[in-house]
C-alpha cells in the first residue's frame, strides 16, 4: 500500500536542514528539463538555497551535528546485534564529510555572492515578475543558450554545496532511521503525546495510507506534540475529523 509521511521538526536546526533537503531535491527535478522555464525554476531554487546560507552559519551547524551524532553512534559498536559493517560505514562517511567541511575555507556560497549575474537575478527575484526579459536582458540572453550550456552552468554553481548537501542528507537519514514506527490511534482525529525532556527528540513522523481523505497537521516542541487529522476542503478551511484514525508514529531522536 502506498503511504504518505508528514514530518514536523522539533528544533530550528532540523527545520533548516529539511528546507535545504527540499530545495536540493526541487533543483534536481527542474534540472532534468531542458526548457528555459526549467532553468528559471532551477535557478530560483538555487537562489533560495543561497539565501539560507547567507542568513545562517550552516557549515558550523552541520559540523556540530556530525560530531554529535558520531559521538552518539560510536558506542553502539560494542552492543550485541548491531550491524557493525553498516555502523562503521556510517561513521566513516561522517568523519569524511566532517574533514571536508573543516578544510573548506570561508563561507559556503561565497562564490555565488561574488557572482554579478547571480546577484542581479537574486535582487530582481524579490519583486513579483521582476525577472521578466525586459528587466534582466543578460538573464534573457542566458536562458536562450542551449540547454547543455545552461545545465553546465547550474551544476557548476551547485558544486559548491555538494559536500554540505551530502552531510545534511546523511544527518537526516540517521535521524529518520533512529526510531521504529508504532501503530497509534487518534481518537476523534486528535492525538497528543508528552516527550521525555532528557531525550533529544528532533523529528516527528506521521504516516498514513495515500488513499485516505485526511492529512496530518502536527505542532509541537521539545516537551510535547499534538496531531490533528484534517479533512481537506478546497473552498473552506480544513476541519478536524470526528472519527478515530489509525496511523504510524515515529518519534526520532539521536
How far is 48 from 46, CA to CA, in rounded Å?
Answer: 5
Q: The CATH number of the domain where 103 resides is what?
A: 1.10.3900.10
Q: Are 254 and 13 in contact (CB under 8 A)?
A: no
| Structure confidence at residue 55 as a pLDDT band (50, 70, 90) | confident
* Higher local confidence (pLDDT), 150 or 75: 150
Last residue of a domain, one of 147, 174, 201: 174
Q: Are 109 and 54 in contact (CB under 8 A)?
A: yes
Question: What is the count of structural domains for the chain?
Answer: 2
- Asked if residue 7 belongs to a domain, the reply is no
Grid cell at residue 153:
552552468
- What's the pLDDT tens digit per position in 129-167? 999 999 999 999 999 999 999 999 999 999 999 999 999
- DSSP, collapsed to helix, strand or coil, labels residue 177 as helix
The answer on 158 and 117 residing in a single domain is yes
- What's the pLDDT tens digit per position in 179-226? 989 999 999 999 999 999 888 899 999 999 999 999 999 998 888 999
* Higher local confidence (pLDDT), 100 or 82: 100
Q: The CATH number of the domain where 222 resides is what?
A: 2.60.440.10
Amino acid at each position: 500500500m502506498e503511504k504518505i509521511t508528514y514530518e514536523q521538526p522539533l528544533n530550528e536546526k532540523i527545520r533548516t536542514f529539511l528546507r535545504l533537503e527540499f530545495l536540493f531535491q526541487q533543483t534536481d527535478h527542474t534540472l532534468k528539463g531542458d526548457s528555459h522555464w526549467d532553468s528559471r525554476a532551477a535557478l530560483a531554487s538555487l537562489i533560495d538555497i543561497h539565501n539560507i546560507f547567507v542568513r545562517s552559519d550552516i557549515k558550523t551547524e552541520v559540523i556540530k551535528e556530525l560530531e554529535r551524532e558520531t559521538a552518539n553512534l560510536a558506542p553502539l559498536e560494542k552492543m550485541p546485534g548491531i550491524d557493525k559493517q553498516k555502523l562503521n560505514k556510517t561513521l566513516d562517511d561522517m568523519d569524511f564529510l566532517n574533514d571536508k567541511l573543516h578544510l573548506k575555507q570561508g563561507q559556503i556560497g561565497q562564490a555565488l555572492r561574488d557572482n554579478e549575474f547571480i546577484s542581479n537575478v537574486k535582487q530582481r527575484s524579490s519583486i513579483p515578475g521582476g525577472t521578466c526579459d525586459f528587466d534582466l536582458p543578460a538573464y534573457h540572453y542566458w536562458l536562450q543558450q542551449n540547454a547543455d550550456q545552461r545545465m553546465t552552468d547550474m551544476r557548476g554553481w551547485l558544486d559548491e554545496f555538494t559536500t554540505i548537501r551530502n552531510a545534511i542528507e546523511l544527518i537526516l537519514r540517521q535521524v529518520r532511521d533512529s526510531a521504529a514506527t508504532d501503530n497509534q490511534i487518534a481518537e476523534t482525529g486528535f492525538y497528543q503525546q508528552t516527550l521525555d525532556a532528557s531525550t533529544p527528540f528532533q523529528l516527528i513522523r506521521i504516516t498514513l495510507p495515500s488513499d485516505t481523505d485526511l492529512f496530518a497537521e502536527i505542532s509541537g516542541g521539545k516537551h510535547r506534540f499534538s496531531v490533528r487529522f484534517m479533512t481537506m476542503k478546497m473552498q473552506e478551511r480544513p476541519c478536524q475529523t470526528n472519527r478515530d484514525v489509525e496511523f504510524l508514529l515515529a518519534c526520532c531522536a539521536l
